[in-house]
Amino acid sequence: MIVKNESKMIETTLAHLCERIPFAYWVISDTGSTDHTRELIRAFFQNRIPGELVEHEWRDFAYNRTKALECAYQKTDYVMVFDADDAIVGTLTLPPLKEDRYMATFGTTESYLRPLLLTNRKIWTYKGVLHEYVDAPEIRTTGMLTGNYYIHSGRTGARNQNKQKYQEDALLLEKAYQTELDESLKDRYAFYCAQSHMDAKQVNPAVEWYHTCLQRNGWTQEKYYASLQLGKLYAFQKKKEQAMEVWRNSVLYDPERIEGLVMAAIYAQLHGDHALVNALYHRCKGYKRPSRKLFLQNQLYEYEIEYLNSKSAYFVKDFESGYQCCKTIILYHRNKERMVHGIRTLKLYQEQLKRDVEFTTLLKTKMPESWMQF
């Protein structure tokens, strides 16, 4: 862990971690705190767990995270990398540890994977001035930390109190992009520069940098997500054709993901294009929720395309698919409002419902009467 001026939360975070993870040793690097962070850390661990608080001058995230890992090297079998404002939500159970690194799930509505545990028998190095990543020579094996949990990224630490954070991040990444010689790092800088402009609500620079990301030979997951974001920006600018094109083309970067197509369907229905909604439903039909993706939009896999087609199919006389979508929503959706919508939209598909005797019986016996007022 690296810290600076985290006195408001450091005790809570350390207690939270010690309740969940069996630590044998700790290393925390302070990069220039002017509050009581260092004193609180020492007091917390006194007579509990051996470890060391080290101090390093701040340079950038990659440099300072690497320095912290250097201090921890070989002192345990594994090292856990954690931010002071993050938290484990749910139950994280560690498996028997044998892989070089273990990936953890971060986030809920928008999820991604990041290394949480690293073997402490290899020399690891962080790369990148911002949105850094960790690497080591000869990473042979990667494991997954599974279970009913996720890591919540709090974004409440000292750095996040800076109201100009995203603007400053964008400028830093632009400068790094201009001087970086490593093409893979330039790919990453272009993507996160666009992200920073997006978070700063700077629309035109965000559009420019997402385009740069898509034009480069970078990671397809970053390019897929760039397509989603670029489509949102075009929609905000009321550039309908550009938005639809970039969303529909998102499958070129990852055919397993449907978020771009679902976003296109949402936008199409908003503009009354029911034929396109129906066509996109049939394009997505049979999809599976993928895993190990970057910034996966989980809510768009919660029967969103079925919800859209349950209405639009009626207008293009595709009654069978509209009925089946209503049925899917009623049987599987976890949201009460969507279930009620599915039931009440059945009024559009009375002929299909009459033929489905088993499902009609289920509705009458299992669903609350108030839901059935259609």
Inter-CA distances, 61 with 131, 159, 276, 353, Å: 8, 12, 45, 59
Helices of type H across the chain: 10-20, 37-45, 61-72, 165-179, 183-199, 203-215, 220-236, 240-248, 259-270, 274-284, 304-315, 319-332, 336-345, 350-355, 357-366
Mean pLDDT of 106-111: 95
Please check the confidence at residue 57 and state whether its pLDDT lies above 90. Answer: yes
Contact status, residue 331 vs residue 339, Cβ threshold 8 Å: no
The helix/strand/coil state of 54 is: strand
Q: How confident is the model at residue 154 (pLDDT cuts 50, 70, 90)?
A: confident
> What is the C-alpha radius of gyration for the chain, rounded to an integer number of angstroms?
25
**Length of the chain in residues, anyone?**
374
Strand partners, 117: 80, 102
Question: pLDDT digit string (tens) for 291-344?
Answer: 999 999 999 999 999 999 999 999 999 999 999 999 999 999 999 999 999 999
pLDDT on residue 332: 95
> Mind listing the pLDDT tens digit for each residue in 33-43?
999 999 999 99
Instruction: Note the pLDDT of residue 171.
Output: 98
CA dihedral 198, 203, 206, 212 (to 10 degrees): 160
Confidence of residue 115 (pLDDT cuts 50, 70, 90): very high
Give which of 202, 238, 208, 241 is closest to 226, Cα–Cα.
208
pLDDT band at 371; cut points 50, 70, 90: low
Listing from the earlier edge strand, what are the strands of the sheet with 2-3? 2-3, 26-30, 51-55
Q: Rounded to whole angstroms, how far apart are CA atoms 364 and 169? A: 57
How many CB atoms neighbour CB 286 within 10 A?
6
3-state secondary structure of 223: helix
Q: What is the pLDDT of residue 277?
A: 99
Cα separation, 339 vs 31, in Å, equals 52
Question: Which of 174, 178, 217 is closest to 192 using CA atoms?
Answer: 174
Contact 115, 101 (CB under 8 A): yes
Written as six digits, the tokens of 251 are: 């499958």
Residues 27, 71 contacting (CB under 8 angstroms): yes
Q: Which stretch of 77-91, 123-137, 158-172 has the lowest confidence by average pLDDT? A: 158-172
